[in-house]
């Protein structure tokens, strides 16, 4: 699929407002207990994400963004409140959520293809059956030639593309991404945003992406959740009704800048 085909597919989506909620976070609180005392990271956090919706989350450092993603994926329990995913209360790690972290976390002794197939091995699925899918994702991500290379032979951006392929290879129903492009320079990040849109539009996974880049949050999202300082809670929701497909130059439009400056203001950041 070419980028323009992907963008057309993207454009044909049913309005997210008409879709059922598939993630429901209700009154979630999280307190970490450490030897040095207790830290309440999240206080009474509630929001929903609809089927096939792309939601981004922005907020100051330490406001609990990573914490909420870990609770949704079942990697960590909430102290109070509950999370429902596809109608089930989350009480253990979910295999239907593909996770992408800030660093690619690839195994350096494995080839890129073998790294991407790792979840298949963990889930004890038939490896041979998933090789074509892995190759298809590598092609979509623009790193097919790297299939048989080791991670150290790839740039940071290429490694992160591989990490996204790994999260998608077993066709999880959700994609949860924690600052996936945080370690990249601004230009690589803009390129990765377009690549992610391309990969995402192919399967239209329900996605929650955390970022500290307001521009990235607006460019990708159907809706931006703005969090306040710890203990984290949602201070505002900003619907992004910029038409899709979105070309990178949409960033220069008045509507884009208006949305960005609104989020800057909500975060209490001066917008020059």
Ligand X SMILES: Nc1ncnc2c1ncn2[C@@H]1O[C@H](COP(=O)(O)OP(=O)(O)O)[C@@H](O)[C@H]1O
Distance, in Å, from the CA atom of 38 to the CA atom of 209, rounded to the nearest integer, reads 27
Tell me if 66 contacts Mg ion by CB under 5 A: yes
Give the residue with the Cβ less far from ligand X, 39 or 242.
39
Spatial distance between the Cα atoms of 154 and 163, rounded to a whole number of angstroms: 12
Residue 100 binds ligand X, judged by CB under 6 A: no
52 binds, among ligand X, Mg ion, none (CB under 5 to 8 A by kind): none
| 102 belongs to the binding site for ligand X (CB under 6 A) | no
Residue 61 is a binding residue for ligand X (CB under 6 A): yes
- Nearest Cα to 268, choosing from 236, 222, 221, 231? 236
Whole-number Å distance between alpha carbons of 181 and 193: 9
Residue 83 C-beta: closest distance to ligand X, Å:
15
**136-155 footprint of ligand X as x/- string (CB under 6 A):** --------------------
| Among positions 64, 104, 157, 172, the unique one binding ligand X when judged by CB under 6 A | 64
CA distances from 234 to 28, 40, 46, 49, 176 (A): 11, 15, 8, 14, 18
Q: Which does 64 bind (CB under 5 to 8 A by kind): Mg ion, ligand X, none?
A: ligand X
Which C-beta is closer to ligand X: that of 39 or that of 131?
39
Applying CB under 6 A, among 39, 118, 149, 184 the residue interacting with ligand X is 39
Task: Show the binding pattern over residues 211-230: x = contacts ligand X (CB under 6 A), - = does not.
Answer: -------------------x
Contact 143, 161 (CB under 8 A): yes
* Residue closer to ligand X, measured from CB, 58 or 259: 58
Site for ligand X in 66-95 (CB under 6 A): 66-67
Which DSSP state fits 14? Answer: P
Q: Which two tokens stand for residue 33?
A: 């207990």
* Gap between the Cα atoms of 109 and 150, Å rounded: 7
**Tokens 């949602």 appear where?**
234
Residue 13: DSSP 8-state: P
- Cβ atoms 43, 233 nearer than 8 A: yes
| Residue 41 contact, options ligand X, Mg ion, none, Cβ 5-8 Å cut-off depending on partner type | ligand X
Contact set with ligand X (CB under 6 A)? 32, 34, 39, 41, 59, 61-67, 230
Contact set with Mg ion (CB under 5 A)? 65-66
């Amino acid at each position: 699929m070419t980028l323009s085909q992907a963008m057309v597919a993207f454009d044909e989506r049913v309005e997210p407002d008409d879709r059922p909620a598939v993630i429901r976070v209700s009154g979630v609180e999280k307190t970490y207990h450490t030897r040095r005392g207790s830290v309440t990271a999240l206080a009474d956090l509630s929001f929903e994400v609809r089927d096939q919706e792309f939601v981004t989350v922005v907020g100051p450092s330490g406001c609990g963004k990573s914490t909420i993603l870990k609770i949704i994926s079942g990697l960590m329990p909430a102290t109070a409140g509950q999370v429902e995913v596809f109608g089930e209360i989350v009480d253990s790690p979910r295999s239907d959520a593909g996770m992408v972290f800030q660093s690619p976390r690839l195994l350096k002794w494995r080839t890129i293809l073998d790294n991407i197939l790792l979840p298949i091995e963990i889930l004890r699925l038939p490896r041979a059956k998933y090789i074509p899918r892995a190759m298809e994702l590598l092609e979509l991500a623009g790193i097919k030639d790297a299939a048989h290379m080791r991670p150290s032979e790839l740039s940071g951006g290429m490694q992160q593309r591989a990490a996204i392929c790994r999260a998608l290879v077993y066709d999880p129903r959700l994609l949860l991404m924690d600052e996936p492009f945080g370690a990249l320079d601004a230009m690589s990040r803009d390129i990765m945003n377009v690549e992610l849109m391309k990969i995402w539009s192919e399967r239209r996974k329900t996605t929650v992406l955390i970022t500290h880049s307001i521009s990235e949050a607006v460019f990708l999202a159907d809706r931006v959740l703005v969090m306040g300082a710890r203990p984290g809670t949602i201070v505002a929701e900003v619907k992004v009704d910029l038409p899709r497909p979105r070309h990178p130059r949409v960033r220069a439009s008045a509507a884009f800048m208006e949305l960005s400056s609104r989020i800057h203001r909500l975060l209490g950041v001066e917008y020059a």
